[in-house]
Amino acid sequence: MADKIAQEIVDFDKYPELQKTGENKGNKVEIFTPFFIVQDMVKCIGDKYVSDITHTILEPSSGDGAFTVYILELRLKGIWKNDKTHYLQKSLQALSTIYSIEMNEPLIKKQRSNIYSLLCYFAKTHKIILTEEYLKLAKEIIATNFMWAETNIKSKPNLSLYDIEIAWYMPESNKKTNNAVKFAKWNIDEDLNYTVNFEEAEIGE
């Protein structure tokens, strides 16, 4: 499945264009987070914290990637500033600890290509040569970590709050089948050799 998804990921050959306005869906309107709000929200968490490539980030309703693109860009800038020698390895590590869930298939497809386009755009503007090996692994990570899925939210008895139990792949979620999302843990060395393990994980209590 990851190979098929990877084949659909393309380089837009420019800085990612993110949806800034509502998108009409019949009688519904889906609102996308403006960039200045994305910046402010990330600052509330802490730019330094988010930029740390060892920290795991999960965006559970990610649209076309307003948060994931910005967070990856912060990470790439930090790596380039502090460790140019290991940029290829560190940039893939930075990517591998970002996870994204979106239930709208066209949006998650666009987000995957937005993320890939950012990697390519950043490299071009900083004259970094990306090898075929690098690009192939980048697509594999994106295809694996950026998921067409939804969170399973159920109301607990006698409680007004909602319990986010776990995430489910689409379209299995619509079929009510037990096919929980598995989060990949990547280990990438300086030669871009890698191992990956998968774990099911609850994303809330």
Res. 161: pLDDT tops 70 = no
Res. 163: pLDDT tops 90 = no
pLDDT in the model for residue 23: 58
The span from the CA of 101 to the CA of 166, in Å, is: 11
Nearest to 25 by CA among 107, 101, 100, 112: 107
Domain that holds residue 95: 2-150
Rg (CA), the chain: 17
The span from the CA of 196 to the CA of 183, in Å, is: 10
The span from the CA of 201 to the CA of 167, in Å, is: 9
Task: Answer yes or no: is 72 within a domain.
Answer: yes
Task: Answer yes or no: is 157 within a domain.
Answer: no
Give the pLDDT mean for 158-180: 63
Nearest to 200 by CA among 171, 179, 186: 179
Give the pLDDT mean for 175-182: 71
Structure tokens at 30: 């889906």
Task: Answer yes or no: is 143 within a domain.
Answer: yes
List residues bridging with 153 in a β-sheet.
164
Task: Answer yes or no: is 170 within a domain.
Answer: no
Task: Answer yes or no: is 129 within a domain.
Answer: yes
User: pTM of whole model > 0.85?
Assistant: yes
Task: Answer yes or no: is 164 within a domain.
Answer: no
Task: Answer yes or no: is 173 within a domain.
Answer: no
For 100-115, the pLDDT digits (tens) are 999 999 999 999 999 9
73: left (phi over 0), alpha (psi -120 to 50) or beta: alpha
For 25-40, the pLDDT digits (tens) are 555 667 788 888 999 9
For 41-86, the pLDDT digits (tens) are 999 999 889 999 999 999 999 999 999 999 999 999 999 999 999 9
- Indicate the number of domains in the chain: 1
Task: Answer yes or no: is 25 within a domain.
Answer: yes
- Looking at residue 70, its amino acid is Y
